[in-house]
Amino acid sequence: MANPAKLMDNEVLMAFASYATIILSKMMFMSIATAFFRVTKKVFANPEDCESFGKGENVKKFLRTDESVERVRRAHLNDLENIVPFLGIGLLYSLSGPDLSTALLHFRIFVGSRFYHTMAYLLPLPQPNRGLAFFVGYGVTLSMAYSLLRNRFYL
């Protein structure tokens, strides 16, 4: 009998599951942050979203863009662009049987760098804070990709 729960007895995969869940939950929080800024600043993208603030012509003044909202949305999109490769490459890397301490180092640095990236984006911190956070996470993902392709290259 195949028992996928057994798969999760593997420590690297368990660690990946924990870090992936944490960073995805953080990314999901960006939706809430966007909604918070939209409501507090009264800035909406859809007419049906601001009907409680007014009807007809009155609605149009809420259909605009605002720098705080756009900033959160850019941070969210940057998360998506970087967390998707981490998820795909990280899962396959975890299945390729890496050393536990090396894998943990990758996962921890990536998750830390993305939290720092979001903080640097939203406060905002002066550059190169955000740029460095981006490149650290980027480097971690590429390092896992390299390790994966070196050990398991099959085209």
- Residues 86-145 interacting with a copy of itself (rule: CB under 8 A): 87-89, 91-92, 94-97, 108, 121, 124-127, 130, 134, 138, 141-142, 145
CB count within 10 Å of CB 38 equals 20
Q: Which of 17, 122, 132, 136 is the binder for a copy of itself (CB under 8 A)?
A: 17
Residue 142, both tokens: 């590429």
Q: Which of 25, 55, 56, 101 is the binder for a copy of itself (CB under 8 A)?
A: 25
- The span from the CA of 32 to the CA of 149, in Å, is 37
- Cβ(14)–Cβ(4) under 8 Å? no
- Tell me the closest approach of the beta carbon of residue 33 to a copy of itself, in angstroms: 12
Closer to a copy of itself by CB, 15 or 136: give it. Answer: 15
Q: Which of 33, 72, 82, 110 is the binder for a copy of itself (CB under 8 A)?
A: 82
When asked if residue 39 is in the footprint of a copy of itself (CB under 8 A), the reply is no
Q: Which of 24, 59, 109, 136 is the binder for a copy of itself (CB under 8 A)?
A: 24
Q: How far is CA 111 from CA 1, 58, 74, in A?
A: 35, 44, 18
Q: How far is CA 46 from CA 10, 57, 60, 63, 102, in A?
A: 46, 14, 10, 7, 47
Query: Phi and psi at residue 124, in whole multiples of 5°?
Result: -90, 155
Closer to a copy of itself by CB, 43 or 148: give it. Answer: 148
- Tell me the closest approach of the beta carbon of residue 137 to a copy of itself, in angstroms: 10
- Tell me the closest approach of the beta carbon of residue 103 to a copy of itself, in angstroms: 11
- Cβ(64)–Cβ(43) under 8 Å? yes
Residues 43 to 72 in contact with a copy of itself, rule: CB under 8 A: 45-46, 48-49, 51-52, 70-71
